[in-house]
Structures are given as structure tokens and as C-alpha cells.
């Protein structure tokens, strides 16, 4: 999956702005590319879990449709842990077709990883920067 550089920057900025709490939002795009992100409120207001505000989810769907796009995924942050799905992430994921991007702020530099999550199993999805003409494909994006 390819992500625009502006999307990567927005996800990292949102994660840093919300730290030490987890942030969350939706990813808008088309098959194979995330064009933009749509931050939403984390209803859990938690350091270790998130719940996407349904009103924000519906607004993201409308915004995507208005542009001829779709909600293709969701993102959230792990302020103090790695960019790997937690047990809660695995248990609560409900759409195996959505891309799940996790932004980790654990290290000196943020790390983004993508997953498809199905029935308590996470399969990593290769993330690449869409704007850069590079043969360097990476499964984790460090900023």
C-alpha cells in the first residue's frame, strides 16, 4: 500500500499532538494508495486503547465519497509501544479488508507499520511512500 508523504506527516503530527494518549482516524483513498487522513476523536481517551468516534467515521465516509474515494483504512498511535497490533487491536478489528496503520512513538523517530487484521491475526502490509520514485520498498516507514 502506498501512502502520500503528506498523509505520513499528518499521522505523525496527530500522534505527537495527542501523546501520551492514543490518537485515531481514518484513511481515505483508492485501491493501493492512501490520499489523505481524517483524524477523529478517540472516545476512550486512553494511553493504551482507542475507539473511533462514529460521527467522525460517517463524516470521513461522506468526505471520501464527495471526492470519488473511499475509507480504505484506519490508523492509531502507540505512544510508548512498538507499531505492532496489541491484543485489544486484534480482538476489536472488525473488517479484514481495511488497512490498519499503527504509528509508534516509542523510539527516537516515529515508525509506521500497516496490517490487515483478521480473526485475531495480523498480516503486515508493505507500506511505501507514494510520492517518491524509489525502488526501496519498506514494510515500516520511519520518519
Residues designated catalytic: 22
Return left, alpha or beta for 91; rule: phi > 0 is left, psi -120 to 50 is alpha, else beta.
Answer: alpha
C-alpha cell of 26? Answer: 481514518
Contact 125, 116 (CB under 8 A): yes
Q: Which residues contact 71 (CB under 8 A, 6 or more apart)?
A: 26, 27, 28, 57, 60, 61, 64, 98
Amino acid at each position: 500500500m502506498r501512502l502520500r508523504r503528506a498523509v505520513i506527516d499528518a499521522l505523525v503530527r496527530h500522534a505527537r499532538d495527542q501523546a501520551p494518549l492514543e490518537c485515531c482516524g481514518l484513511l481515505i483513498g483508492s485501491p493501493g494508495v492512501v490520499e489523505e487522513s481524517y483524524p477523529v476523536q478517540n472516545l476512550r481517551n486512553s494511553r493504551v486503547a482507542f475507539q473511533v468516534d462514529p460521527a467522525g467515521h460517517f463524516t470521513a465516509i461522506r468526505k471520501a465519497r464527495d471526492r470519488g474515494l473511499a475509507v480504505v483504512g484506519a490508523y492509531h498511535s502507540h505512544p510508548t509501544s512498538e507499531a505492532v497490533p496489541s491484543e485489544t487491536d486484534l480482538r476489536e478489528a472488525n473488517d479484514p479488508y481495511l488497512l490498519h496503520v499503527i504509528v509508534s512513538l516509542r523510539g527516537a523517530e516515529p515508525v509506521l507499520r500497516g496490517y490487515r487484521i483478521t480473526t485475531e491475526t495480523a498480516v503486515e502490509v508493505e507500506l511505501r511512500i507514494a510520492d517518491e520514485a524509489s525502488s526501496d520498498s519498506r514494510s515500516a516507514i520511519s520518519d
